[in-house]
Structure 1
Amino acid sequence: MTQVNALEHWVDTPEGKLFAQDVKPQNAQGVPIILLHDSLGCVALWRDFPKQLAAVTRQRVIAYDRLGFGRSDAHPGRLRRGFVEAEAEQGFAALLRQLEIDDFIVFGHSVGGGMAVGCAAIHGKHCRALIIESAQAFVEGLTLQGIRAADQQFAAPGQLQRLTRYHGDKAEWVLRAWVDTWLDDAFADWNLDALLAQVQCPLLSLHGDQDEFGSPAHPRRFTALAAGPSVMRLLPGCGHVPHREQTEVVLAEVQRFLG
């Protein structure tokens, strides 16, 4: 497998510093792939996937902790409707500026997939491809059901420590930012339809047919509404985290799509 080297960066934003991991394979080719994590995620929770992705694509892979997550600074307030779309002009834009990135490919998991749609739409002149995994295109009953169940699980003694391991004293904020935002009545009719209509680059939508946070209605909506060419892959027997549950399948699909 191609040898890769990892660097660390601290990205300045008006609200605090963001942590980023920059994986560079030897003899890197093409444009960087930028990873956007899920609602409870961070760089560390991608585990070895960035290195595996860099090795098989021979492209630079950059993952960063959004404000409030992982090793990045704390978020100054609560998340509000519009936070998914806003990331493209906030942390993501700051990363592009500081690392002097021009063209890119964006890869987002879960809510990070929704943010990736925003990045592809708003930075359309520079986005060469969009890859989304287990992403939500709208607020679905199954998504809310999964969030309520997870909230109950985290209420059990010791469960919040699972998040503390990755987010430190920001763990409670991370959980509430996910649960309270999605369950808020003001978020009930949220969707990505308008942004999808602005996505001109090729789109790959990966989704597990056993995803506990979203039905196949999401990848169907992504591929139906995106303005550019799109491919949908429904992964049999897979849940909400395909890059962990079916790593080799995801890597092969990405290779095929980018090839």
Structure 2
Amino acid sequence: MSGLHIREHWIDTASGKLFAQQWVPLQAQGAPIVLLHDSLGCVALWRDFPAQLAQATGHQVIAYDRLGFGRSDAHPGRLRLGFVENEAQQGFTALREYFDIADFIVFGHSVGGGMAVACAAAFASQCMGLITESAQAFVEARTLEGIRSADQQFAEPGQLQRLERYHGSKAQWVLRAWVDNWLAEDFADWNLDTVLAQVRCPLLSLHGDNDEFGSSAHPERLVALAGGPGVARLLQGCGHVPHREQAEVVLAEVVQFLQ
């Protein structure tokens, strides 16, 4: 991408190294946008979107692989109940300290959207904007059906290799961390209600009307319960990955939101 400095970083934490990548426009402005990936995601799976986002907004964009994902170190154990909320104090805090970030904008996809809410709540005075994409605000039947279906697909020969391409030997852990946590009995009552009330910044909630992992009840609940002003945008004919399926629409919405 022309006009962008792209840099790779390794962040030391008590639990292991985190991989991060940074896209910096030549005339960078405003608070950095931090990207939080989905349950099976990593920096590489954002593909061209971070560069497009940096160019469209003029803000620097930073994405990182959570511990256990992508190029970051393996997770020492298994994810526990509370992992969505806890990311604000874990990888996200390590990233802010490494880059010396004060004010920030946070953008999360799917479960990363829930983590973005937690980050905006935990650092309410420093969060200038919160963007969620295909985020789950609670555990919905459609979410669980989508996860069960995906779990069956990954059980078929050769399917796990799709994850190994991005997560290497951690692929099986990544899959189980997603499926087993969401389908666990003690996760059934999970929601973001309490955390949402602590958010103070503006919120943009993007959601595809064909999202196989959640209905429009999610963006509606996010906007209704957030402590700051919020707007929900339902994208027509769009599934669970709007930044890939309708990148131009997503970029236009984000640019308008940031203005």
Q: Residues 1-259 of structure 1 correspond to what in structure 2 (within 5 A)?
A: 3-259=3-259
CA distance in 1, matches of 2:148, 2:5: 40
Q: 1:86 corresponds to which letter in structure 2?
A: N
Structure 1 gap segments, 5+ residues each: none
Return the alpha-carbon distance in structure 2 between the equivalents of residues 136 and 152 of structure 1: 21
3-state DSSP class of the match of 1:89?
coil
| TM-score normalised per structure 2 | 0.99
Cα pair 1:200 1:228 within 8 Å, conserved:
yes
Distance of 1:29 and 1:125 partners within structure 2 = 19
Identity of paired residues, percent?
Answer: 73
Equivalent pair of 1:2/1:25 in contact (CA under 8 Å): no
CA contact (8 A) 2:205 2:223 kept: yes
Rounded to whole Å, the distance in 1 between the matches of 2:27 and 2:129 is 21
The residue matched to 1:231 in structure 2 has which SS? Answer: strand
Question: Quick one: distance in 1 between partners of 2:192 and 2:2?
Answer: 37
Q: What amino acid is aligned across from residue 112 of structure 1 in structure 2?
A: G
Where 1:88 maps in the other structure, the secondary structure is coil
Q: Say if 1:2 and 1:56, in contact at 8 Å, map to a contact too.
A: no
Q: Count the aligned residue pairs.
A: 259
Question: Aligned-pair distance for 1:50?
Answer: 0.3
CA contact (8 A) 1:2 1:55 kept: no
The Cα of 1:80 is off from its aligned counterpart by 1.2
Superposed CA offset, 1:147-196 (max 9, x none): 00000000000000000000000000000000000000010000000000
Residue 27 of structure 2: SS of its match in structure 1?
Answer: coil
- The 4+ residue runs of structure 1 with deviation greater than 6 A are none
Check conservation: 2:125, 2:200, Cα contact below 8 A: no
Partners of 1:227 and 1:101 in 2: how far apart? 23
AA in 1 matched with 2:191: N
**Kept after mapping to 1: 8 A contact 2:134/2:208:** yes
Secondary structure of 2:186's match?
Answer: helix
Aligned partners of 2:206 and 2:219 also within 8 Å: yes
Conserved? CA contact 1:38–1:110, under 8 Å = yes
User: Is this contact kept in 2: 1:2–1:58, CA < 8 A?
Assistant: no
Q: Is the 8 A contact 2:23 2:51 kept in 1?
A: yes
* Amino acid in structure 2 at the alignment position of 1:22: Q
Q: What residue identity is the alignment partner of 1:232?
A: A
Query: Aligned letter for 1:124?
Result: A
CA deviation after TM superposition for structure 1 residue 116, in Å: 0.2
In 2, Cα distance between the equivalents of 1:249 and 1:104? Answer: 23
Give the counterpart letter for 1:176 in structure 2. R
Amino acid at match of 1:196: L
Determine helix, strand or coil for the equivalent of 2:249: helix
Q: In the TM superposition, what is the alpha-carbon distance from 1:13 to its structure 2 partner?
A: 1.1
Give the alignment's Cα RMSD to 1 decimal: 0.8
Question: Quick one: distance in 2 between partners of 1:240 and 1:13?
Answer: 31
Amino acid at match of 1:160: L
TM-score (norm 1): 0.99
CA distance in 2, matches of 1:86, 1:13: 15
Instruction: Quote how far apart the aligned CAs of 1:83 are.
Output: 0.2
Task: Give the superposition deviation at 1:2.
Answer: 6.4
Q: Which amino acid aligns with 1:186?
A: D
SS of 1:38's partner is coil
* One-letter amino acid matched to 1:105: I
